[in-house]
Chain A
Amino acid sequence: MRAVRLSVVTAAATAAALTAVTGCTEKSDAKNGDAIQVTAADSKCDTSAKTVPAGQVTLKIENKGSKATEVEIVFPDDRIVSEKENIGPGTKYTLTAEVKAGSYEIACRPGMKGHGVRQKLTVTGGKVAKRDPRLDKAVAAYRAYAQEQADATLPKAEAFAKSVKDGDMEAAKKAFADSRLGWERTEPVAESFGDIDPKVDVREDGLEDGQKWTGWHRLEKALWHDKKIGAEEKTLADQLVTDLKDWQKRVGKAEITPTSMANGAKELLDEVATGKVTGEEDRYSHTDLTDFKGNVEGAQKAYELLKPVAQENDAALTTELDKQFTALDTLLDKYRTDKSSYVFTSYDKVGKADRKELSDAVNALAEPLSKLAAAVVK
């Protein structure tokens, strides 16, 4: 939980800059201002042009299928440039977007889910920056992971909210930590949106003047500290679900780059080092180790996806990272009886010496992890 995540933002700027310096070698088959006709159906996505000049790009979309569809212009790493959701059967929509030179895809997603049907789109007008397809693949896979985590979180958060609204204290307490797991695994991505994190994951001491305290930790305090659920808590439970749905919708638009993935992994360890190891994050529920595990898993996911490239550039680094991830995982396993469960020892029962041992293991991993980004872009 931190208000601003610089690296993700910076990385986004870098990505934009990269696509801006692109070049025109191909002839455009649509002139400036000419719209691309997109005919979407249940199993097809026809486009009237495969290349357009950079600048304003207009899609004239018609849904000829039987399901509502969604049409997107996406980067090679699956980041959405622009999109229109919920285009009903038989309806038309015009989508316009500012698009810089580079390679893209137009995706039609019948039923508004899945990979969809796709067509290539080349936008010309500048020198095209070289992209490493392996890294594009890694980013796309990471984006899919972030989306999965968000998708899986919603039902859990809804169950948590329902328990709160039912006034079922015990059920709510049980559902609390689990509802946070997907968020904790992908926290840097979630935090890149800036406005969601302060609504759902802020702690009491992180509030700004005049800011209303909402989200998980507000409810945590009600459940464990105040030990009562009132009308206010029930409203806040609904609010949490609403805010998380907003997050779920925006994950696809998150600006993710190989660098931001690597730095995001390191930031997850920073989260552990500053919030979880100290027991500050879940100070009422003491479920810090569940968050801890989620952070480490998220970092490991990003690392594993980047590893093929990093290994090529710095084999010693990946050897060290493999070793330290294993060491930390092994250490964390000491705090749960069932390795498939995310129920860990309550953190108030973890003594000073054991906390130090955890902290040492985090430091041992975070220091080499801080070198991952450089190993990826080298």
Chain B
Amino acid sequence: MTDTTEASQAAENTGSSAPSRRSLIGWGGAGLALGAAAAGGAVAMTRTGNDVDPVGADAGGAIAFHGAHQAGIATPVQDRLHFAAFDVQTDDRAELVQMLKDWTAAARRMTAGHAVGEGAYGGLAEAPPDDTGEALGLKPSRLTLTIGFGPSLFEKFGLNDRRPEALVDLPQFPGDALEKTRSNGDLCIQACADDPQVAVHAIRNLARIGFGKVVIRWSQLGFGKTSSTTPDAQTPRNLMGFKDGTRNIAGTEKDRLEKFVWVGEKDGPDWMTGGSYLVARRIRMHIETWDRTSLQEQEDIFGRDKGEGAPVGKAKEHDKPFLKAMKPDAHVRLAHPDSNNGVTILRRGYSFTDGTDGLGRLEAGLFFLAYQRDVRKGFIPLQRSLSRSDALNEYIQHVSSAVFAVPPGVRGKDDWWGRALFSEEA
């Protein structure tokens, strides 16, 4: 694992100085160096080894793109999400590789707060601009772009011998009502940012670069984070009004990250070392019926009180839960590591409302995102238990599902998303 960051990164990532996209647009390579100088010694944010910048930049700053792990997992959870799954259309491996390189270059620029390619204006009048322009003048907004490879990708490109054993197709769980067209995918990009327009801009521009090679299969907007990786900050609430992810893995908990999130050197395959596995589930919430449920029942179902978020019988949110005090089918009790042989996953979900459902109800819910070292030891046993017994099931329904292998981070300016997977020597 590399502990160094490329010198070029300091020039590329202007760090917490939060450059305006307007001021940076259209600058060439020389301009970028100038930008770094102009930042006047602002510390370029880097993630070295497994250490994650604890709180990250303020809401406007940039999160380093390069590192041992991809950003957007253990890094602080931003406020907004645009998630997209893609189908690969080309069967030409070289063409896909070139697109991944182009994507990486664009991601490197966008996460630093720069426009894609030659920018959104000022180029040839006869050509459409490289960048679509809607993020001009906006701050980097802690944009992270995280790529994942779905099981079907390995199939399509004859990479089955490289498919990680831990990347299993998820079984059907009781109560699943999965929409096929909103599930799975060969590739995924998770774009998180504090400004929704920055996240949407990123997905849009990557999709544009991908035309002819990949097409968007489905996408999901998330407007509010439902978990955080920064326990010092206030725990966010889900649409049911309860605090969510109180005991989530924090970005600073190196040991728990190593144990539960990052793929270890001995886990195999080699190209996944430092990576993780992502499970994405669109969980529709029947919020209207939930809202008609008595407070007592709501709190019984979760196993925490609604105001403070304290476990049953305890006073404070972060007090250690006494599981036996909760109802046997309480959500927190069933989901707790102690009820699951220690199984722990890193949650990074977002609330969504996609308009209405035509029956006078909000089409709302939780877009659940969870990272883990091995799906077979993470989400699958956990969901087996929850789908069987969770009292919450009366108010939720899983309507889409996908699983992805999330490769390790991009190490420097010559590295690209998927290099280790697609390179012969790896």
In this assembly, does A368 line the interface, its C-beta being within 8 Å of a C-beta of chain B? yes
* 8 Å CB contact of B215 from A360, A376, A377: A360
A378 CB contacts on chain B under 8 angstroms? 124
B196-239 Cβ-contact flags toward A at 8 Å (1 or 0): 00000000000010011101000000000000000000000000
In this assembly, does B128 line the interface, its C-beta being within 8 Å of a C-beta of chain A? yes
Contacts of A350-378 to chain B: CB distance below 8 A? 360, 363-368, 370-371, 373-374, 376-378
Asked whether, in the complex, the Cβ of A373 is within 8 Å of the Cβ of B126, the reply is yes
Asked whether, in the complex, the Cβ of B127 is within 8 Å of the Cβ of A371, the reply is yes
In this assembly, does A348 line the interface, its C-beta being within 8 Å of a C-beta of chain B? no
- In the complex formed, the residue of B with least CB distance to A367 is B211
A363 CB contacts on chain B under 8 angstroms? 211-212, 215
- In the complex formed, the residue of B with least CB distance to A10 is B125
Asked whether, in the complex, the Cβ of B89 is within 8 Å of the Cβ of A373, the reply is no
> Contacts A320-B212, A324-B212 hold; do A364 and B89 have CB atoms under 8 A apart?
yes
Asked whether, in the complex, the Cβ of A377 is within 8 Å of the Cβ of B126, the reply is yes
A376 CB contacts on chain B under 8 angstroms? 126
- In the complex formed, the residue of A with least CB distance to B124 is A374
A367 CB contacts on chain B under 8 angstroms? 208, 211-212
Asked whether, in the complex, the Cβ of B127 is within 8 Å of the Cβ of A368, the reply is no
> Contacts A360-B89, A364-B89 hold; do A371 and B128 have CB atoms under 8 A apart?
yes
- In the complex formed, the residue of B with least CB distance to A7 is B126
Contacts of A98-130 to chain B: CB distance below 8 A? none
B127 CB contacts on chain A under 8 angstroms? 370-371, 373-374
Contacts of B102-153 to chain A: CB distance below 8 A? 124, 126-128
Complex CA gap A370/B212 in Å reads 13
A365 CB contacts on chain B under 8 angstroms? 212
How many residues on the A side are at the interface (Cβ–Cβ under 8 A)? Answer: 19
In this assembly, does A259 line the interface, its C-beta being within 8 Å of a C-beta of chain B? yes
Complex CA gap A102/B127 in Å reads 27
- In the complex formed, the residue of A with least CB distance to B127 is A374
Asked whether, in the complex, the Cβ of A364 is within 8 Å of the Cβ of B212, the reply is yes
A259 CB contacts on chain B under 8 angstroms? 126
Minimum CB–CB distance from A262 to chain B (whole Å) comes to 8
Interface centre among A259, A360, A368 (most CB of B within 10 A): A360
Complex CA gap A370/B126 in Å reads 9
Minimum CB–CB distance from B98 to chain A (whole Å) comes to 10
Asked whether, in the complex, the Cβ of B128 is within 8 Å of the Cβ of A370, the reply is yes
B126 CB contacts on chain A under 8 angstroms? 259, 262-263, 373-374, 376-377
Contacts of A145-171 to chain B: CB distance below 8 A? none
Complex CA gap A370/B128 in Å reads 7
Complex CA gap A371/B123 in Å reads 12
Complex CA gap A208/B116 in Å reads 39
Complex CA gap A378/B127 in Å reads 10
- In the complex formed, the residue of B with least CB distance to A263 is B126
Minimum CB–CB distance from A15 to chain B (whole Å) comes to 13
Interface centre among A366, A367, A371, A378 (most CB of B within 10 A): A367
Minimum CB–CB distance from B415 to chain A (whole Å) comes to 23
Minimum CB–CB distance from A363 to chain B (whole Å) comes to 5
Complex CA gap A368/B211 in Å reads 9
Complex CA gap A378/B208 in Å reads 22
Complex CA gap A324/B213 in Å reads 11
Complex CA gap A368/B208 in Å reads 10
Q: Which residues of B contact A (CB under 8 A)?
A: 89, 124, 126-128, 208, 211-213, 215
16 CB < 8 A contacts A-B: A259-B126, A324-B212, A360-B89, A360-B215, A363-B211, A363-B212, A363-B215, A364-B89, A364-B211, A371-B128, A373-B126, A373-B127, A374-B126, A374-B127, A376-B126, A377-B126
- In order of increasing CB-CB distance, the 8 nearest A-B pairs are A374-B127, A364-B212, A367-B211, A373-B126, A374-B126, A360-B215, A374-B124, A370-B128
- Given A368-B211, A368-B212, A374-B124: 20 more A-B contacts, CB < 8 Å: A259-B126, A324-B212, A360-B89, A360-B215, A363-B211, A363-B212, A363-B215, A364-B89, A364-B211, A364-B213, A367-B212, A370-B128, A371-B127, A371-B128, A373-B127, A374-B126, A374-B127, A376-B126, A377-B124, A378-B124
